[in-house]
Amino acid sequence: MLAAYFLLRGEFDWPTSLTWQELSSRLDSAQGWLLDQRTAEHPNIIFAILDGFRALAEWLVTAFINALEWLTWVGTIAASVLIVLRFGGWRAALIVFGAFVSFALMGLWEESIQTLGLMSAAVLLSLAVGIPLGVLAGRSDRYYRSITPVLDAMQIVPAFAYLMPVVILFSVGPAAAVICTMIYAIPPAVRITALGIRGVTPDSVEAARAFGSTAAQTLFKVQLPLARRQLLLSVNQTIMFALSLVVIAGLIGGRGLGDVVTNGLYSNAALAILAGIAIVIMAIALDRATAAIAERTDPTRQHLTDEGRRRARIMTLATLGAILAIVLVARALGADALYPDEFETSTTVFTATIHDDLLRWIQSALDYVQDPDSFIFGITEPIGNFLLEYFLEPLRLVLVETPWFVVLAGLTGMAFVLSGRRPAITAFLMLAAIGVMGVWAVAMDTASQVLVATALAVAIGIVIGVWAAESPRVERMLRPLLDTLQTLPQLVYIIPFIYLMPVSRIPGVVASVLYAIPVVIRLVTSGVRNVSPAAVEAASAFGASRMQVLLKVKIPLARESIMLGVNQGIIMVLAVVVIGGLVGSGALGDMVARGLQRNEFGEGVVASLAILALGIALDRVTQGQRRVQPR
- Which of the residue ranges 2-6, 162-166, 212-216, 507-511 has the most confident prediction, judged by mean pLDDT? 507-511
Is 269 found in the same domain as 182? yes
The model's pLDDT over 456-507, given as tens digits with 9 standing for 90+, comes to 999 999 999 889 888 888 888 888 788 777 767 777 777 777 777 766 788 8
User: Residue 460 has what pLDDT?
Assistant: 93
Tell me the C-alpha distance between 584 and 578, whole Å.
10
Instruction: State the average pLDDT over residues 570-597.
Output: 79
Q: In Å, what is the CA distance from 549 to each residue of 488, 535, 545, 552?
A: 36, 9, 6, 5
Tell me the C-alpha distance between 449 and 577, whole Å.
7
Is 610 found in the same domain as 463? yes
User: Residue 352 has what pLDDT?
Assistant: 57
Nearest to 449 by CA among 496, 516, 403: 516
Picking from 254, 284, 300, the residue at the C-terminal end of a domain is: 300
Query: Would residue 18 count as lying in a domain?
Result: no
Is 231 found in the same domain as 93? yes
C-alpha torsion sign, points 310, 316, 321, 322:
positive
Tell me the C-alpha distance between 422 and 627, whole Å.
14
The model's pLDDT over 411-456, given as tens digits with 9 standing for 90+, comes to 888 888 888 888 889 889 999 999 999 888 889 988 898 899 999 9
Whether the predicted pLDDT of 305 surpasses 70 = no
Tell me the C-alpha distance between 421 and 69, whole Å.
56
Q: Is 97 exposed, middle or buried (0-12, 13-18, 19+ CB in 10 A)?
A: middle
CB 102 within 8 A of CB 281: yes
Q: In Å, what is the CA distance from 215 to each residue of 130, 210, 439, 552, 588?
A: 20, 12, 52, 50, 49
Residue with the bigger pLDDT between 181 and 599: it is 181
CB 229 within 8 A of CB 292: no
Whether the predicted pLDDT of 41 surpasses 70 = no
Whether the predicted pLDDT of 351 surpasses 70 = no
CATH assignment of the domain containing 107: 1.10.3720.10
Whether the predicted pLDDT of 310 surpasses 60 = yes
- The domain in which residue 541 lies consists of 378-621
Picking from 254, 274, 300, the residue at the C-terminal end of a domain is: 300
Query: Would residue 328 count as lying in a domain?
Result: no
Query: Would residue 536 count as lying in a domain?
Result: yes
CB 68 within 8 A of CB 116: yes
User: Residue 43 has what pLDDT?
Assistant: 66
Query: Would residue 9 count as lying in a domain?
Result: no
User: Residue 631 has what pLDDT?
Assistant: 36
Is 268 found in the same domain as 147? yes
Is 293 found in the same domain as 196? yes
Query: Would residue 318 count as lying in a domain?
Result: no
Is 388 found in the same domain as 295? no
Residue 45: left (phi > 0), alpha (psi -120 to 50), or beta? alpha
Is 228 found in the same domain as 142? yes
Residue 525 is classified by DSSP as H
Is 271 found in the same domain as 178? yes
User: Residue 456 has what pLDDT?
Assistant: 92
Instruction: State the average pLDDT over residues 294-301.
Output: 68
Query: Would residue 542 count as lying in a domain?
Result: yes
Tell me the C-alpha distance between 10 and 226, whole Å.
62
**What percent of the chain lies above the pLDDT cut of 90?**
4
Q: What is the pTM of this model?
A: 0.77
Nearest-Å Rg of the Cα atoms of the chain is 26
Picking from 300, 330, 351, the residue at the C-terminal end of a domain is: 300
Of 214-218, 261-265, 336-340, 527-531, give the lowest mean pLDDT range: 336-340
SS3 of 420, please? coil
- Which of the residue ranges 124-133, 195-204, 270-279, 537-546 has the most confident prediction, judged by mean pLDDT? 124-133
Q: What is the largest CA-CA distance in the chain?
A: 82
Whether the predicted pLDDT of 405 surpasses 90 = no
Q: Contacts from 51-60 at CB under 8 Å and sequence distance 24+?
A: 53/170, 53/175, 53/179, 54/170, 54/171, 54/175, 54/176, 54/179, 55/175, 57/121, 57/125, 57/170, 57/174, 57/175, 57/178, 57/179, 58/173, 58/174, 58/175, 60/120, 60/121, 60/124, 60/125, 60/178
Is 400 found in the same domain as 287? no
The model's pLDDT over 83-135, given as tens digits with 9 standing for 90+, comes to 998 888 888 899 999 999 888 888 888 888 888 888 888 888 888 988 888 88
In 40-140, alpha helices (H): 45-88, 90-105, 109-139
Is 383 found in the same domain as 253? no
SS3 of 335, please? coil
Across the chain, mean pLDDT equals 80
What count of residues does the chain have?
631
Contacts of 205 (CB under 8 A, 6+ apart): 218, 222, 223
Is 231 found in the same domain as 101? yes
Count of structural domains within the chain: 2
Query: Would residue 266 count as lying in a domain?
Result: yes
User: Residue 428 has what pLDDT?
Assistant: 92
Query: Would residue 334 count as lying in a domain?
Result: no
